[in-house]
Structure 1
Amino acid sequence: MSEEVTVLEEVTVLLADDHHLVRSALAGLVDSADGMRVVGQAADGAEAVALAADLRPAVVLMDLSMPVLDGVEATRQIVAARADAHVVVLTSFSDATRVGDALAAGAVGYLLKDCDPRDLIAAVRSAAQGYAPLDPRVARALLPATTASPADRLSVRELQVLRLLGKGLANKQIGRALGISERTVKAHVGHVFRQLGVTDRTSAALWGQQHLPDE
């Protein structure tokens, strides 16, 4: 009698950082994680764009400050060429302007280089699965100094998406219910996460259930 073995899909990763020592350390960390493999390393933004097109990695870990082409523009070009690209910024900068520029360029996540290695690996897995990993310190930097509810910063459509998240619907189901594409739903979910300061669907759903009035 043969034994069935479940094979998990490998998460391929492209590293983009102009410091060789940083790339080497990241490569060792990623390659040592179960089900992950570094498929390429880029020393500047232009090289990252070229390798992303050639290798089509599941996740791109992108530094912001790089020669030739900075991380924001490299992210913009990667996402423009491949709509389903998952770019996660990994940088030392946490100011709201840089964070906003990177997310506007299409990055799905934003981490700081001093984060716990376990959090980094978890974020890579999360991004590969279509979620939006965001360092809590970065989330706080994005929130304006106001006592207004985060719900006030969400559009009507985003509130609809949040309510459906609370019902446990997947992105495809939400898209079908609202008559929009799954990619558009993903963008709305990422913005909802950032505005609420959460990093996963469960936390967003709980927030919605606790703070949104019944329809």
Structure 2
Amino acid sequence: MLSFFKKLFLKREEENQENPMKKFLVTGLGNIGPKYHDTRHNIGFKILDALTKEEDLTFETKKLGDITTYKFKGRTLILLKPNTYMNLSGKAVRYWLEKEKVPLENLLVITDDINLTFGTIRVKAKGSAGGHNGLKDIEAQLNTSKYSRFRFGVGAEFSKGRQVDYVLGEWNAEEEAAMPERLEKGIALIKSFATAGLTNTMNTFNGK
């Protein structure tokens, strides 16, 4: 029979072995560099920056992106900002999914969406890229469109042929004023995804 201390040691070892189902990869999409910092296309970066600031975390530049780890209610959230530029986001997502052995169902991608009015939130379990180059590359790299995405509405206040200028443009004064509350909602959504699951998160946050 194992001694009491041996059993205690083994129990602690088991607890220290991370359950992959409690590990998540939360990827915010955007472009690196000060030129893009406050643009609509970078809302994925902006939400992760808000979360790390709130929790006093620091990003570290590693392979294919800036990474930090957030521990929350027994879950491990790996926060990723790819440094590959938007159009090659999938390379970073695939690398960190594989490296950290995160199940595909525990991937959440945060992206801008011109088909939603400013600040509108929509969480989906799958879907088309909808013309978004970052999502297109993730789908190509993962060979599936069945991954969770958190779409943040940026509106479509642009004239014909001006879409690129619009998404690479900066927020207007009204949007900036509303942003803190929207960022708080985004942070709450990420925490809900990791703890309450996708379906509950969709029911709680979609359209809010």
TM-score by length of 1: 0.37
- TM-score, normalised to structure 2, is 0.38
Name the structure where strand makes up a greater proportion of residues: 2
| Structure ranking higher on relative contact order (CA contacts 8 Å, 6+ apart) | 2
